[in-house]
Amino acid sequence: MSIQASVFIATSLDGYIAREDGKLDWLYTANATVPEGEDCGYSDFMKTVDVLVMGRKTYEKVLSFGLWPYGGTSVIVLSSNKIEIPNELVQSVSCSSESPKELCKRLANEEVKRIYVDGGITIQRFLFEGLISDVTITVIPIVLGSGKPLFGNVEKDIPLKHISTKTYDFGFVQSTYKVIN
Boundaries of domain holding 128: 4-179
Interval 100-124 mean pLDDT? 96
Would you state the pLDDT for residue 155? 83
CB neighbourhood size of 163 (10 A) = 12
CB neighbourhood size of 175 (10 A) = 16
Is 80 exceeded by the pLDDT of residue 137?
Answer: yes
- Kindly indicate the confidence band of residue 65, based on its pLDDT and cuts at 50, 70 and 90: confident
**8 A C-beta contact, residue 30 and residue 142:** yes
Instruction: Tell me the C-alpha distance between 63 and 59, whole Å.
Output: 6
**8 A C-beta contact, residue 116 and residue 46:** yes
Interval 151-170 mean pLDDT? 93
Question: How many domains does one find in the chain?
Answer: 1
CB neighbourhood size of 140 (10 A) = 21
- Give the pTM: 0.94
Would you state the pLDDT for residue 153? 85
Instruction: Tell me the C-alpha distance between 36 and 19, whole Å.
Output: 26
Position 95, amino acid: C
Closest CA to 103 of 134, 131, 82, 128: 131
Position 39, amino acid: D
Would you state the pLDDT for residue 135? 98
Give the range among 36-50, 63-77, 99-113 with minimum mean pLDDT.
Answer: 63-77
Question: In the chain, what's the furthest Cα-to-Cα distance?
Answer: 43
Give the range among 31-40, 58-67, 71-80, 136-145 with minimum mean pLDDT.
Answer: 58-67
Domain containing 63 — which CATH number? 3.40.430.10
Interval 126-154 mean pLDDT? 95
Instruction: Tell me the C-alpha distance between 27 and 152, whole Å.
Output: 20
Interval 94-103 mean pLDDT? 96
The more confident residue out of 151 and 2 is 151
Is 80 exceeded by the pLDDT of residue 1?
Answer: no
DSSP 89: G
The more confident residue out of 1 and 102 is 102
Would you state the pLDDT for residue 82? 87
Would you state the pLDDT for residue 124? 94
The more confident residue out of 153 and 164 is 164
Closest CA to 59 of 39, 84, 38: 84
- Using alpha carbons only, give the angle 2, 60, 7 rounded to the nearest 5 degrees: 30
